[in-house]
């Protein structure tokens, strides 16, 4: 599940990063006005960079030992968890665009997967720490 989750999240974050960077108006349809200011377009493009960076980190980490991935798992849990909470708020209040309900499901599934992986990773670390050396 670890490799699959890191791989799928890397592909998803790559798509989001490319969408923001190269197609900000199409990516933001329903949220970004068609006559958006150059400053808004520039900001959306700027936000694409970190998505691509995290995608690369997840992609390169997918074959690592679980014990070496604690901080990466927590960072993904934090990111996807925060976005899922934002989606829940937006969908519940009606402030989000219609497609947010689909993104809510995607983000919540990633958040739950990373929560499960983080917990499993911590349990493995705890077991490893209680093993006698040598």
Render each residue's pLDDT in the chain as its tens digit; 134 residues.
Answer: 899 999 999 999 999 999 999 999 999 888 899 999 999 999 999 999 999 999 999 999 998 887 788 899 999 999 999 999 999 999 999 999 889 999 999 999 999 999 999 998 888 767 666 666 65
pLDDT reported for residue 51: 96
Question: Cα dist. 89→70, 79, 82, 105 in Å?
Answer: 28, 16, 11, 13
The structure tokens 């958040």 sit at: 111
pTM: 0.85
- The separation between the first and the last C-alpha atoms of the chain, rounded to the nearest angstrom, is 30
């Amino acid at each position: 599940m670890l490799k699959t989750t890191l791989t799928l999240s890397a592909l998803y974050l790559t798509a989001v990063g490319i969408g923001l960077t190269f197609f900000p108006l199409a990516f933001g349809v329903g949220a970004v006005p068609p006559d958006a200011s150059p400053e808004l377009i520039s900001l959306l493009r700027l936000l694409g960079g970190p998505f691509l960076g995290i995608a690369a980190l997840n992609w390169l980490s997918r074959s690592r030992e679980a014990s070496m991935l604690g901080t990466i798992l927590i960072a993904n849990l934090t990111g996807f968890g925060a976005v899922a909470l934002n989606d829940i708020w937006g969908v519940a209040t009606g402030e989000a665009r219609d497609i947010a309900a689909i993104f809510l499901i995607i983000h919540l599934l990633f958040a739950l997967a990373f929560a499960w992986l983080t917990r499993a990773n911590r349990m493995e670390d705890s077991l490893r720490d209680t093993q006698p050396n040598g």
